[in-house]
Chains A and B, each alone.
Chain A
């Protein structure tokens, strides 16, 4: 179980990240991870912020830390795929996304990154298939977001 204080700090960090205030978010994530370095979600959210800040190499290192704690953390595999894609390591990114999808086949981002990697690797037919899966899931996400808006 992660430390309560660390969980709270990550929550605060996420609030900043949602408003694209990544520096502030990072400060909270750092505090949380100093308190509890075994908190895999903390590493995951820090990796997300680092990607958004244009630092995929550090994000990749955070993903590795999170996976060392919890190798079945599917979102981290997906994030790792994104970091690797941004580092133009398309083969490795494809592998990471495939792992993510083996753990959770409903990950729209992982399907999309798989598609773009396959495109980069000149495998257009497989890319189209991955894009198709990604779109199906994205539409579900979009409809959910619309419903939430109407409900507000």
Chain B
């Protein structure tokens, strides 16, 4: 890596170790429009020759160093998997899209039956694929994000304050997802989505350690669930709210995360073997979370190329799934839309 961007000794060392372990090259790019978490465009996912880490222009110091550390760690896991066996991601097929959308539809019908103001059918139909894709994106990000953050903390404890700022910001943004649609989407999916983020945040709050990152402290909607007494839990109406249920499901998800990540020796010297082990733990954790959410048959472990192809065919998969779910009722209107 050759760069004119000033970097701390620690991060320069980590980037060069990453390049050395993977026998690859990393270049850095500042972009005023970059995602606040930065973006990794890597050779194991895209047909390119060099890895690029893109970060916001306003990140000039430790915020930039943290983003680089995070993406280098993720790159190490991807690269180790590619070199040791095969790097795979959670992709989808026509059949798996159907299974996912059908399940969401069944759950939506159950919810709709209890609602006074019903969701217009067109909106309901549109929501099925949007939700399915939402979970596809989250499940490809969340377990890895947790592992990457835990690893960065143990490898670079000196940037803990920076990491904490980043995580608190990220956590609030993630929890804000789906907020506008809370009354529209089936409760089960709202709860599962929030529970995943809750588990990640609580795991990292315990790891760093940082109480301020705990969802019951950092997330406004969850503050009222801090230090609840059993009696209170049984008698208040909170138990019926989506946020409270997210906490309950999230606590179970945290047990799953703990179960997988507590066996990691985070302080091990960076090597291909070590990062391959982390990758495998990430795959197992993802599978466990999918199983818990009864989404195991929604996705398939495939190459990143397969996922890029699936993304290209996303609309077709959606139409085919809708045809299977609704039969002749919908075929005509879909043909018209085409």
Contacts and interface: CB of A to CB of B under 8 A. Distances in A.
A17 to B, nearest CB: 11
Interface residues of B, number: 22
Contact of B161 (A20, A111, A115, A132): A132
B58 A112 contact: no
Interface of B: 2, 4, 6-10, 29-30, 32, 36, 56, 58-63, 158, 161-162, 165
Contact of A119 (B9, B59, B60): B9
Contacts, number: 66
Given A20-B30, A53-B4, A54-B4, 4 more contacts: A82-B6, A119-B9, A128-B158, A135-B62
B4 A51 contact: yes
B6 A111 contact: no
A113 B65 CA distance: 13
Contact of B6 (A20, A54, A112, A146): A112
A98 B10 CA distance: 22
A145 B60 CA distance: 13
Interface in A46-64: 51-54, 56
A116 B7 contact: yes
Interface of A: 18, 20, 51-54, 56, 82, 85-86, 108-109, 111-113, 115-116, 119-120, 128, 131-132, 134-135, 138-139, 141-142, 144-146
30 contacts: A54-B2, A54-B4, A56-B4, A85-B6, A86-B4, A86-B6, A108-B61, A109-B60, A111-B61, A112-B6, A112-B61, A112-B62, A113-B6, A119-B8, A131-B8, A131-B158, A132-B161, A135-B62, A135-B63, A135-B161, A135-B162, A138-B58, A138-B59, A138-B60, A138-B62, A141-B58, A141-B60, A142-B63, A144-B58, A145-B56
B186 to A, nearest CB: 29
A129 to B, nearest CB: 12
